[in-house]
Amino acid sequence: MTRREFMDELGSLLDELPDKERLDILADYTEHFLMGVKEGKSEHEIAEALGSPKALARELLAGYRIHEAESNASVGNMTRAIIATVSLGFFNLVFVLGPFMALIGVLIACFGVAVALLLAPVGMYAQYGFSAVSQERLLLLFGSMASIGLGGMMAVGLVGLTRWLYRLFLRYLQFNVQMIRGK
Amino acid sequence: MNVQFKKGVLELCVLVLTAGRDRYGYELVASISEKFHIAEGSVYPLLRRLTQEGFFTTYLMESQEGPPRKYYHLTEQGRQYMNDLVLEWRIFNRGVNQIIGEGLGYDKA
C-alpha cells in the first residue's frame, strides 16, 4: 500500500468526522510517512507497520465518539459511542452491549418504582379519599406524604446515579477500546 | 511476538518517553516498536486521547529537513498520572516476577 492509498482509504473511512478532526488525524499520519521516507523506508513498509487503515479508523472513531459523549452528555452521543465501540469486534458486542442492557434495565425499573411512589397517592385518594372517615383521612394524608417524599428522594437519587453511571460506563468503553493489536 | 494486551502498557511507555523532553510522534513510535511489535498506527489514537484528557499539550515545530513535527509536551497533570502508572506497574511487575520465580523454582536454587 502506498502512502496515497493509505491516506485515501483512511480519509474516506473517517468521513463522518468533522473536517478539523479528520484533517488533524490525517496530518499525523502524513508526518509519519514523510519521516519514515526520510529515514529510508519505503512507503509500503511504513504502511505495513502502521496496520490496516480499517482497524485504525475504527479505533479513531471510537475514541472520538467516546470523547464526544464525555464532553457532551446525551443519549444520542452515548448510543454513538457504544455503536463505535461495539464495531471494534465481537468481544465488545458481548462485553459492552450485555452490561449496558442490564444497566439500562435496572435503571428503568428503579425509575418505574419512583414514579409509582409519586403517583400512588392519586390512586389512594381516587379509591377512598373523600368518603373516608376522619381517622382514615389522616392515615391517607400521612401515607401520601410518605409516598411522595420517598418517591421524590428516589427520583433525585436516581438522576444522580444515572449521571454517575453514564461517566462510569464511558470509562468502561474506553477500557474496552484499549487492546494493543500486534502482528 | 503475538501482542495482545492492554494498552495501559503502551500508555505508560508513551508517558515515560516524554517525561525527559518533548517528543514527536514518529520518534515515540520508533522507540516503542524497537522494543516490541505493535501496530504502529495505533500510537496516534492513543496520543490523541491523552492530549484530550489534558496529559499532553502539542505544538508544531519546523525541522531543518522534512515536514514540521507535532511535539507532545507532558503536562503537570500528565506527570502525576505517569507517576501513578509507574507505581502500579512496579507493583504488578514485582508480583508477576515473584509468581514466575516461585512457579519455576528459581528461588530454591
pLDDT at B6: 60
In whole angstroms, what separates CA B91 from the centre of its chain? Answer: 17
Q: Are strands B23-24 and B56-61 parallel, antiparallel or unpaired?
A: unpaired
Coil, strand or helix at B73: strand
At residue B108 the predicted structure's pLDDT band, cuts being 50, 70 and 90, is low
Grid cell at residue A56: 485504525
Give the position of cell 459492552.
A96
Grid cell at residue A132: 373516608
pLDDT at A183: 45
At residue B5 the predicted structure's pLDDT band, cuts being 50, 70 and 90, is low
Beta-bridge partner residues of B72? B23, B58
- Measured between beta carbons, the chain B residues lying within 8 angstroms of A59 are 42, 45
pLDDT greater at residue A28 or residue A173: A28
pLDDT digits (tens, 9 = 90+) for A105-117: 999 999 999 999 9
C-beta atoms of B70 and A67 within 8 A: no
- Measured between beta carbons, the chain A residues lying within 8 angstroms of B68 are 31
pTM equals 0.78
Coil, strand or helix at A15: coil
Coil, strand or helix at B56: strand
Distance CA A158, CA A176 (A): 26
* For testing contact with chain B, the best of A10, A14, A34, A35 (most B CBs within 10 A): A35
Ramachandran region of residue B105, left (φ > 0), alpha (ψ -120 to 50) or beta? left
